[in-house]
Chain A
Amino acid sequence: MAQESTEIARGLRRRDPDLLDRLIEQYQHRLLRYLVYLTGRRELAEDLFQETWIRVLERGHQFNDKYAFSTWLFAVARNLAIDHMRRKQPASLDGLLNDDEAPLEVPATGQASAFDMSLRREQNEHIAAGMQHLPAEYREVLVLRFQEGMSLGEIAGVTLVPLGTVKSRIYRGLSALEPWLKGAPL
């Protein structure tokens, strides 16, 4: 990991477009997923996705190879999302939560071929719906933890909150999703 980070840092300092192409390919789904959950809007997430990579190009020299690239990348994306919300309305990440006019756009999980598949799909849809009712702070840590597989320390690095806060957000986020797992109305 350290070797990879060092190579990335070197390439970013040179503003190597081939390296950036590779990184965009590599992190495309993870970054977009994070931004979709953070903003709750696919269209905005796609705009921020592009802006994030432009920012990575411009500020690549600031990447410290002591840390994982993904941690820095998500932090850049997060800052851009917050900047966007501040421009729109003077608020922090709180501005991203529970926007009823902008439902979280999650595509259907495909065709049901069997009863259990159908049940599982239904459960996934319930959870996806539950996610849009969670505060953005909770959505964010749940995605970083369970979809990105980040450690608590890395999440604290991205979100700039103490480890204890990360733990409590994960706990509260998961607890808040529990009723949705059991089939709260969509």
Chain B
Amino acid sequence: MNTHGHERARNLIVLAGPEALSGADQAWLAAHVETCASCRAFAQNARETVQALRAIPIAAERSLVSTTQMRVRRRALELQRSRERLWLVSVSCTVVTLFALLSTFVLWRGFAWVGAQAQLAPSIWQVGFIVFCITPALVAGVLLLARDTHLADHTGSYQG
């Protein structure tokens, strides 16, 4: 028997498992093992090793399983809450955007009407419209800056 024959036999012995060997391979292996003492011994050893491997008991403890289930449930709840929050934020953003568009349109028409009534040049009431729109944001920004400056001064005086 050549080396290739032994190698093939050992490969088949090791790989015979969940996928059954083909009929031809099985027949060839049986014939080979019958005549080859070393491959027969190898097959026996492989069988015993696999049996021993399967017999090693490693089991998860009950506490590990219940802790894992609890952690998974808690995480699932967190994910669900964060998804709900995200949904709420998305809906709020959509509603705010729609209202902003609507109010901008209404205001624009309002300024145009007032400009027409007061017989103002369009550029004047348009500038007025822009100032009207950005004033709240500007005021809020200034107030926030003032508050931060005040807080920084206050904290600084405590630290100093």
Among B18, B60, B65, contact of A151 (Cβ-Cβ < 8 Å)? B18
0/1 per residue, B36-67, Cβ < 8 Å to A? Answer: 00000010011011101111111110001101
A171 to B19, CA, bound (A): 16
**What chain A residues lie within 8 Å of B50 (beta carbons)?**
146, 174
**What chain B residues lie within 8 Å of A131 (beta carbons)?**
53, 56
Among A109, A151, A152, contact of B55 (Cβ-Cβ < 8 Å)? A109
Among listed B9-17, B23-31, B84-92, B140-148, interface-contacting one? B9-17
- Contact A124 to B55, CB < 8 A, known contacts A50-B71, A149-B18: yes
**What chain B residues lie within 8 Å of A181 (beta carbons)?**
45, 48-49, 52
A104 to chain B, nearest CB (A): 10
Q: Is the CB of A36 within 8 A of B48?
A: no
A39 to B114, CA, bound (A): 78
> At the interface, is chain A mostly helix, strand, loop or mixed?
helix
- Contact A46 to B64, CB < 8 A, known contacts A21-B69, A107-B57: yes
Q: Is the CB of B15 within 8 A of A167?
A: yes
A90 to B75, CA, bound (A): 29
- Contact A49 to B68, CB < 8 A, known contacts A15-B76, A57-B79: yes
A146 to B16, CA, bound (A): 10
Is B94 an interface residue, CB under 8 A from the partner? no
Q: Is the CB of B11 within 8 A of A177?
A: no
Q: Is the CB of A171 within 8 A of B14?
A: yes
Is B81 an interface residue, CB under 8 A from the partner? no
Q: Is the CB of B58 within 8 A of A106?
A: yes
Q: Is the CB of B59 within 8 A of A32?
A: yes
Among B45, B55, B57, B73, contact of A178 (Cβ-Cβ < 8 Å)? B45
Q: What range describes how many residues of B lie at the interface?
A: 20 to 34
**What chain B residues lie within 8 Å of A78 (beta carbons)?**
none
**What chain A residues lie within 8 Å of B11 (beta carbons)?**
167, 171
Please give me the residue from chain A that is nearest to B77 by CB atom.
A17
0/1 per residue, B68-107, Cβ < 8 Å to A? Answer: 1101110110011000000000000000000000000000
Is A66 an interface residue, CB under 8 A from the partner? no
**What chain A residues lie within 8 Å of B71 (beta carbons)?**
50, 53-54
**B residues apposed to A, CB below 8 Å:** 10-11, 14-15, 17-19, 42, 45-46, 48-50, 52-60, 64-65, 67-69, 71-73, 75-76, 79-80
Could you give 28 example pairs across A and B, Cβ below 8 Å?
A: A15-B76, A15-B80, A17-B76, A21-B72, A21-B73, A24-B72, A28-B59, A28-B60, A29-B58, A32-B58, A32-B60, A33-B58, A46-B64, A53-B72, A54-B75, A124-B52, A124-B56, A127-B53, A127-B56, A131-B56, A151-B19, A167-B15, A170-B15, A171-B14, A174-B14, A174-B49, A174-B50, A177-B49
